[in-house]
């Protein structure tokens, strides 16, 4: 007997929905095994990791605050991936957006008006989009693989931020700590709740709903779908592959940049060397877990947000390294890509015995 | 050369007993029986979707039967894989070749051979064997430089090197000129004289009459008849395949030929891909009410010509294409559609239609740009007008007899013939003034082909100009008022359809009209 993958006649709609569930289940089981191997009680650890973050209001708030950027970046990436454009550098565009938007609080600190905030949001999105145009240009002009270029540009953006907060934009009253001056007044997003919930959450939700409508009902969504899944049919429909690359990088880069600006004008409140716990990379998992569907991305964003808070939880209560979060996120992406194979293929046992009269190896 | 060359007495080589193959609830093959004798060419006939491929794949070990048995030289066998089938002595030449264009003939053959056959001077053996069987091949040639006919020879030689007792050929002449086909038939006759059996799958009934001794006819997965093709006529064979007499396409003489609606003059274009074909100085004119057919073997620049005429590849630097009197080189495909042109590409799936999308979405594919419907289909932020698309889908379904499992099925769920009717119907529904259609009925069953051809003729008689690109000479003679032939990117002058014979077209397909490079340079 031998286990083989057999191609299905057509993609399984059921598996498309079950695949993320199965991946989550496998992640939880593997996570339990890893906790046990580390000598921690697995059930308690899993409880702290996945359930505890939902048992108190402040931690639910924290989950929402973390889900905000994940969803905002994730919906952009979902559209991008649907079009078969692989922007892996959202983390860099996030950073570029934060830097560009911070021009106003850092250089025009005295401009205090609601328009200043609007200008910051605009500049944030613009910064992310412009930074994303670098891989878009390299791909459309020279055919350079966008996965590599967008990924490598992440480190450039991060080092640029690092240099800016230590050098030109260093807070003159900051005792030489690597940070900019704190943002104040209209340079911060309106907040509510216990002080961490902010306007950015609404922006994320609106972006997801708008993109859901675009993808489901408009010609643009149709174009994205066709160009991504059948490029020759896309050409037949008169859709340009090149324009699609620019559009995708503009959209996903813009949303990542906006998320970056929202993060520094919201929960962080200033520029500093580290402004993101890898939101831009985690959003890749969010996009896939959400089935590249903007509504699915909302739920996936919440789940991945829990993984951040849960990671902090097990660190505090059981003394496990906070790298656990990355292990869980990595396992989740790994398992979901693995389970996605089952959408197009089914597992089948076949007999390896080719028959009684025949000789030879028929494997 | 072959093991059993001294064995000319007939005996049953392979027998299929009550074989059934189910895909889900669908019976692709339903209790089929078939027996193949040594030293004979056995035809397997049937429309698309009749179950021919499924049956052959089971014989070749690529599929496993749901029930029933296969007997090889009297013994029951279960053929686990193509490698196993080749070990038994079954060789197969597929319709679509699996060759690496960037490698040489000998490299391609070597890749597919079992290790024990790779030893020694393979090039010499290929050269000897191919000459011996009248399939001359240069082992050192790059596959990319070879014609389709030569590529097929590689596949055949690859099979013959393994000394098969049964050779399965899937529509081998679909890509050949009439002359190349005749050469192939002599090779097959030679093989059969040596005691080899051939299972010959084809749509072309004249051929079957010419070379086959037995014929098995399938319809809807069931065996409908086992006949002697020598005593049947092509018409009776067709009737058995389709299950009813095929509708005859009717065409009255056209006397209302009008203005030139599609004019291509001095069109030259370098291919954008390394293995594509450059178009060289193409000239043609199609008038209102006229059907011009371009004959030629696939891969001689027809795809490139379609791309340039449709505007999928536009070249603003030339002024060689004019549609309805307007120079159109700089226009993209949608702008050309809005002028009144419509296009049907060769590949239904992945080019003319998207497999996983619904039929209504597939209508949108080519109909979103020009407001030739009651109201615009694309309403911007308000979204696509899906109600109107549903109406269009219904109308196309009725007018062009598109049979589907549900009203708005996915394109992938339609059979080849029905999808082609849909793709053609989607364009004809617009009543285009110019229609360019590449391989209108390729791989389509006889019933669907007749419907499509009649619809094309009807459109031309309403005053549209129609350009057909086809490699099916029967189809060309049925439809065309005028014929030109394409080979290696060059187009012959246009002739009136009545002035050409099949043989003349065959010679032009092989390049008799081509200009040498010196002449072109002069």
As for the ipTM of the complex, it is: 0.84
Let me know if residue A50 belongs to a domain. Answer: yes
Minimal Cα distance from A233: which residue of B?
Answer: B351
Average pLDDT, chain B: 86
CB contacts, 8 Å: B376 with chain A: none
Q: In the prediction, which pLDDT does B173 show?
A: 79
Please report which confidence band the pLDDT of residue B518 belongs to, taking 50, 70 and 90 as the band edges.
very low
Strands B75-77 and B90-93: unpaired
Give the rounded percent of residues in chain B with a pLDDT score beyond 90. 40
pLDDT at A221 over 70: yes
- How big is the CA angle at B469 (ends B468 and B475), to the nearest 5 degrees? 75
Instruction: Give the gap in angstroms from C-alpha A3 to the nearest C-alpha of chain B.
Output: 15
pLDDT of residue B143: 86
Q: Which domain holds residue A322?
A: 2-351
Cβ neighbours of A293 (radius 10 Å): 20
Is residue A192 over pLDDT 90?
Answer: no
pLDDT for A361 equals 39
Q: What is the CATH number of the domain that holds A308?
A: 1.10.3470
Please indicate, yes or no, if residue A257 is contained in any of the structural domains.
Answer: yes
Confidence (pLDDT) at B147:
75
Q: Which of A229, A237, A241, A292 to mutate to test the interface with B (most CBs of B within 10 A)?
A: A237
The confidence score (pLDDT) of residue B248 equals: 66
pLDDT at A207: 97
Instruction: Give a yes or no: residue A360 inside a domain.
Output: no
* Residue A363 counted as domain residue: no
- State whether B334 and A358 contact (CB < 8 Å): no
Give the pLDDT band of residue B40 (cuts 50, 70, 90): very high
Distance CA A301, CA A283 (A): 8
Domain count, chain A: 1
Bridge partner list, A192:
A197
Whether residue A130 is predicted with pLDDT greater than 90 in this model: the reply is yes
Locate the DSSP E strands across B317-445.
Answer: 321-323, 326-327, 341-344, 434-438
pLDDT for residue B4? 42
Res. A239 pLDDT band, cuts 50 70 90? very high
Answer yes or no: is pLDDT of B201 > 70. Answer: yes
More confident position, B48 or B511? B511
* pLDDT tens by residue, B116-152: 777 778 888 888 888 888 888 888 888 887 877 788 8
Question: Per-residue pLDDT tens for B358-372?
Answer: 999 999 999 999 887
- For residue A134, being part of any structural domain is answered with yes
Beta-bridged to residue B343, according to DSSP, are B436
Q: Is residue A200 part of a domain?
A: yes
Contacts of A356 in chain B (CB under 8 A): 76
Q: For residue B478, give both structure tokens.
A: 């049925």
pLDDT band at A115 (very low <50, low <70, confident <90, very high): very high
State the pLDDT at residue B22. Answer: 83
Residues of A in contact with B88 (CB under 8 A): 358
pLDDT at B246: 59
Whether B349 and B339 have beta carbons less than 8 Å apart is answered as no
Q: Mind listing the pLDDT tens digit for each residue in A265-301? A: 999 999 999 999 999 999 999 999 999 999 999 999 9
Q: Is B74 on the interface with A (CB under 8 A)?
A: no
Confidence class for position A153, pLDDT limits 50, 70, 90: very high
- CB atoms B84 and A233 under 8 Å: no
Position B244 scores a pLDDT of: 62
- pLDDT tens, B378-436? 888 888 999 999 999 999 999 998 988 888 988 988 877 889 999 999 999 999 999 99
pLDDT tens figures, B162-197: 889 999 998 887 777 778 888 889 889 998 998 899
What pLDDT score was predicted for residue A356? 40
> Is residue A357 assigned to a domain?
no
**Residues B79, B70 contacting (CB under 8 angstroms):** yes
- A269, A184 Cβ separation under 8 angstroms: no
Is A362 within the bounds of a domain? no
Side-chain half-sphere CA neighbours of B260 within 13 A:
12
CB contact under 8 A, A362 and B81: yes
For residue range A295-344, what is the model confidence (pLDDT) as tens digits?
Answer: 999 999 999 999 899 988 889 988 888 788 888 889 998 999 898 888 88
């Amino acid at each position: 007997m031998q286990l083989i993958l057999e191609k299905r006649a057509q993609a399984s709609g059921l598996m498309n929905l079950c695949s993320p569930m199965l991946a989550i289940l496998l992640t939880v089981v593997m996570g339990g095994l890893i906790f046990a191997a580390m000598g921690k009680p697995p059930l308690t650890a899993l409880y702290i990791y996945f359930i505890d973050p939902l048992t108190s209001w402040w931690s639910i708030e924290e989950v929402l605050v973390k889900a905000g950027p994940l969803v905002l970046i994730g919906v952009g990436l979902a559209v991008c991936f649907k079009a078969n454009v692989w922007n892996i550098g959202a983390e860099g565009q996030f950073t570029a957006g934060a830097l560009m938007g911070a021009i106003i609080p850092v250089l025009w600190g005295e401009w205090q008006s609601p328009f200043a905030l609007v200008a910051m949001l605009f500049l944030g999105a613009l910064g992310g989009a412009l930074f994303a145009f670098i891989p878009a240009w390299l791909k459309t002009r020279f055919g350079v693989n966008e996965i590599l270029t967008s990924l490598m540009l992440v480190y450039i953006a991060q080092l640029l931020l690092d240099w800016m907060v230590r050098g030109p934009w260093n807070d003159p009253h900051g005792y030489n700590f690597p940070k900019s001056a704190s943002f104040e007044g209209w340079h911060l997003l309106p907040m509510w709740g216990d002080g961490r919930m902010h306007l950015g959450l609404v922006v994320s939700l609106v972006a997801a709903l708008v993109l859901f409508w675009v993808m489901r009902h408009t010609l643009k969504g149709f174009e994205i779908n066709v160009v991504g899944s059948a490029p020759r049919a896309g050409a037949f429909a008169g859709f340009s592959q090149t324009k699609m690359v620019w559009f995708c990088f503009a959209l996903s880069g813009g949303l990542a940049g906006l998320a970056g600006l929202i993060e520094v004008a919201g929960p962080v409140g200033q520029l500093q060397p580290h402004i993101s716990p890898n939101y831009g990379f985690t959003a890749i998992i969010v996009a896939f877990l959400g089935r590249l569907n903007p509504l699915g991305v909302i739920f996936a964003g919440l789940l991945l947000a829990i993984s951040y808070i849960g990671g902090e939880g097990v660190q505090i209560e059981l003394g496990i390294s906070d790298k656990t979060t990355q292990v869980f996120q990595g396992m989740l992406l790994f398992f979901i890509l693995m389970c996605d194979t089952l959408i197009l293929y089914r597992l089948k046992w076949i007999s390896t015995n080719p028959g009684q009269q025949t000789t030879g190896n028929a494997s | 050369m072959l093991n059993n060359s001294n064995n000319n007495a007939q005996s049953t080589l392979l027998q299929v007993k009550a074989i059934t193959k189910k895909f889900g609830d669908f019976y692709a093959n339903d209790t089929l029986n078939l027996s193949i004798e040594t030293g004979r060419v056995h035809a397997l006939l049937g429309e698309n979707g009749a179950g021919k491929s499924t049956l052959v794949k089971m014989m070749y070990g690529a599929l496993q039967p749901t029930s029933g048995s296969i007997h090889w030289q009297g013994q029951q066998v279960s053929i686990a894989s193509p490698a196993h089938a080749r070990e038994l002595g079954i060789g197969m030449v597929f319709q679509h070749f699996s060759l690496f264009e960037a490698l040489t003939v000998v490299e391609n053959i070597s890749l597919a051979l079992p290790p024990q056959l790779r030893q020694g001077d393979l090039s010499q053996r290929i050269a000897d064997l191919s000459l011996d069987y009248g399939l001359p091949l240069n082992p050192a040639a790059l596959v990319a430089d070879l014609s389709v006919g030569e590529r097929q020879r590689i596949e055949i030689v690859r099979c013959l090197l393994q000394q098969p007792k049964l050779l399965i050929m899937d529509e081998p002449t679909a890509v050949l000129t009439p002359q190349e086909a005749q050469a192939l038939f002599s090779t097959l006759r030679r093989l059969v004289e040596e005691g080899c059996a051939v299972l010959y799958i084809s749509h072309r009934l004249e051929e079957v009459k010419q070379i086959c001794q037995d014929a098995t006819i399938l319809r809807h997965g069931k065996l409908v008849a086992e006949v002697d093709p020598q005593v049947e006529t092509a018409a009776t064979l067709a009737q058995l395949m389709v299950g009813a007499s095929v509708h005859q396409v009717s065409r009255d003489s056209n006397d209302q030929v009008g203005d030139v609606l599609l004019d291509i003059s001095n069109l030259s274009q370098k291919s954008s891909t390394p293995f594509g074909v450059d178009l060289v100085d193409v000239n043609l004119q199609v008038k209102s009410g006229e059907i011009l057919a371009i004959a030629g073997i696939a891969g001689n620049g027809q795809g490139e010509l379609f791309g340039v005429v449709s505007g999928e590849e536009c070249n603003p630097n030339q002024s060689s294409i004019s549609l309805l009197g307007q120079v159109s080189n700089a226009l993209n495909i949608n702008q050309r559609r809005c002028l009144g042109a419509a296009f049907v590409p060769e590949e239904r799936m992945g080019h003319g239609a998207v497999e996983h999308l619904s039929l209504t979405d597939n209508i949108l594919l080519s109909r979103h740009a020009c407001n030739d419907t009651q109201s615009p289909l694309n309403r911007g932020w308000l979204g696509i007008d899906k109600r109107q698309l549903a109406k269009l889908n219904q109308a196309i379904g009725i007018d062009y007899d598109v049979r589907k499992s549900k009203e708005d099925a996915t394109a992938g769920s339609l059979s080849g013939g029905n999808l082609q009717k849909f793709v053609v119907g989607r364009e004809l529904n617009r009543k285009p003034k110019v229609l360019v259609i590449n391989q209108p009925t390729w791989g389509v069953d006889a019933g669907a082909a007749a419907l499509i051809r009649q619809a094309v003729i009807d459109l031309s008689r309403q005053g549209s100009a129609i350009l057909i690109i086809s490699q099916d000479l029967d189809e060309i003679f049925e439809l065309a008022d005028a014929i030109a032939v394409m080979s290696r990117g060059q187009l012959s002058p246009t002739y009136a359809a009545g002035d050409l014979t099949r043989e003349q077209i065959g010679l032009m397909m092989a390049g008799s009209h081509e200009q040498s490079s010196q002449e072109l340079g002069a």
